Structure 1
């Protein structure tokens, strides 16, 4: 596996240029996530377009530009970048909202994930929703499949990362692509979203959530795949433990455990 973007993804904080969704640093390799990304002559959506790149192509981050732009609800800064066209080294400016959060390689398949749009909360004070896309590309950067998932944004998605886990013993699955979104403080859950790749499609798998509110409660979910200790062939097992702490904030006063079993038939996980 080749990890092209290992830095954690920081949540969108409008007006705080250094804390953006991508956390790009000078010298980082960025991967185009949008169907088309315009490289402009200056850091402005009105600037002259000098080149256009497509999904899966890469550029090198050279310098953060302290100018923000908002489109589809996404607020992100611009970056001066270096890239190649027809073998020639060039420089220009790109809006980070067009870049992937991360790029991950498994054999000839490239997995990207990024943000498609941001939608406001149901009430003014509510956190926004992030519509996240996962894309699987072939060696020629053609999209083989893509999936969309909506996650709570704002304080509920301060950081994110992704990882390829291998097949984990699931029939017809060559690798599992796991997304992770974390909140900014105690009492806000960490959410894990899983997709299985069968060579042609991204298949939804059960996910898990964990939450810890210091001195009060803890909610922990663990997924067991067939290959793992305690796992069973043809099944995905989710173990949930809910704990309440006593007045000292340390002693567990109450605990409840739940075991859920999902039957995997090579295409779909069905709760038993």
Structure 2
């Protein structure tokens, strides 16, 4: 874990095709995130186009190549992929930067998230920013809604993970999509982004973060939704706990807690 965290990735570490935010393995299903993705005859953006797919379509990862492409600030490898067209088995090459980081099904809707582009740091040594986009797609691959958020990249986000939750007791939501970006190392925060889904629209919810610096400090934020123990109807409660450790690096010498309450009106969470 520490070895990975010591090698910052800008949506992919150039020169190391096996390690990237997509974490695709042979045999995995790759879901298309871009509005249109071309399947090429060989792993090159100049190669002839074999087929094209739209957002929400899927192919099967067959073999990772050693070839990379940098586009929109992202460096990602090419995968040889397999898929069917009119019942016929076909294959070609897909640039991984066109794929979703995660996709989930809710009723008849497909919820996806991925990186739209990477913005370089303002100065040398500054961490880049990931422009992350959420998309809600109908069964006919029609875009219902999308939301954009900016995530600090580099060593602060070398791991991405999503999870689809229930409504957690919040009115007018059918689900909550939680995104997590982590640096996986001491002193690097793990940030969680929450978005409620109404069935056709994303609604931003309070975020949370946690960080642990061994032997020094820890910071932990917990969100309590109405259906959880300690939760309250119509409210989202954020409990923050900060601890400082003594010289031995083990004994807690100072603890600070804070409680914030957000009132949910069915459309937004307003801090009291």
TM-score calculated relative to the size of structure 2: 0.95
Shift of 1:11: 5.0
Aligned counterparts, 1:201-220, within 5 A: 201-220=201-220
Cα displacement string for residues 226-272 of structure 1 (whole angstroms, at most 9, x for unaligned residues): 00000000000000001111111111111110000000000000000
8 Å CA contact 1:115–1:131 kept in 2: the answer is yes
Cα displacement string for residues 90-118 of structure 1 (whole angstroms, at most 9, x for unaligned residues): 10011000011111111111111110000
Cα displacement string for residues 142-177 of structure 1 (whole angstroms, at most 9, x for unaligned residues): 111011111010100011110011000001011000
Shift of 1:19: 0.7
TM-score calculated relative to the size of structure 1: 0.95
- Counterpart of 2:167 in structure 1 is 167
**Superposed CA RMSD:** 1.2
Provide runs of 4+ in structure 1 moved above 4 Å.
none
| 1:97 partner SS | helix
Aligned counterparts, 1:221-240, within 5 A: 221-240=221-240
1:79 matched to 2:50? The reply is: no
| 2:177 partner SS | strand
Aligned counterparts, 1:110-149, within 5 A: 110-149=110-149
Shift of 1:86: 2.1
Q: Distance in 1 between matches of 2:164 and 2:186?
A: 27
| 1:156 partner SS | coil
8 Å CA contact 1:10–1:23 kept in 2: the answer is no
- Counterpart of 2:109 in structure 1 is 109
| 1:66 partner SS | strand
Shift of 1:182: 0.5
Q: Distance in 2 between matches of 1:221 and 1:29?
A: 34
Gaps of 5+ in 2: 1-8
